[in-house]
Structure 1
């Protein structure tokens, strides 16, 4: 799996080169640079056969004021997915947020834009798995995550 910075123009052909049956990759891009991430957690369609890869997170410089473009392949966009992200605001406070959950087949990319004085720290694409369940102990709705891809911002 490719886990280094590549020019944005080269990312699409690299994604197309992935063999069938291989876990899908997600592309994170900022400015003219991009990073292609393999999943840190990946579960097959049965939601039982899962693998974890601690070496899968990628790094990419994302200067303040620069949008992060996240592009997912059809294997992800055909399911519900979202981006969970952390940034430091202008006052230095850490803020944890998430995008809306994108409906199946609704979109294959998203431009994450933060306030001008904010600095992105991490971004994680989360692909939802089986339907939500009720946690009997807490009574809360639990949304199982099937797979995730992680970006840590360099610098």
Structure 2
């Protein structure tokens, strides 16, 4: 049997390269999302961020961004490739004049790789945004055995809170 150090060195180099890629995916700062409100870009870190298996999670409720949002103002949301490579959507709430409770809605789900931007436009020019939350889905949906409802695990969220002006 002949020992071939070149082949072993190449195999070791290949293993080290794979390990470096895996470690790079585990470390570093989580991705940010940009909310553009009337020309002002606000960069939000995630308020919740979990790995793909939903095992390692961090929470930072102070990561949300806040802005004065005039009634009817569209919000342009831009997500990086780390978010757009998975399924994501925007959950949002708004108020109507004379309505005491916020109305909650969701955008359509952006399929992996389909888009990096979404413009959130409320139904009426008098509607006022309360909150917009980018949600990156995690593992496949499953049925909750207790409620028999379909659950869609969210592994990361980025939040914009609209300040209510008098």
TM-score, normalised with respect to structure 2: 0.78
Q: Deviations over 1:19-46 (max 9, x none)?
A: x731000000111212110000001233
Q: Deviations over 1:98-144 (max 9, x none)?
A: 11111111110100011101000111000000000111111111100
Aligned counterparts of 2:81 and 2:28: Cα–Cα separation in 1: 13
2:14 maps to what in 1? none
Deviates more, 1:44-53 or 1:109-118: 44-53
Alignment of 1:1-155 (within 5 A): 21-93=28-100, 94-114=102-122, 115-154=124-163, 155=165
Q: Please give the root-mean-square deviation of Cα atoms over the aligned residues, in Å.
A: 1.3
Aligned counterparts of 1:41 and 1:31: Cα–Cα separation in 2: 26
SS in 2 for 1:139: coil
Query: Which has a greater percent of helix?
Result: 2
Query: Which has a greater percent of strand?
Result: 1
> Which of the pair has more CA radius of gyration?
2
In structure 2, list runs of 5 or more residues that go unmatched.
1-26
Runs (4+) off by over 2 Å: 90-93
TM-score, normalised with respect to structure 1: 0.83
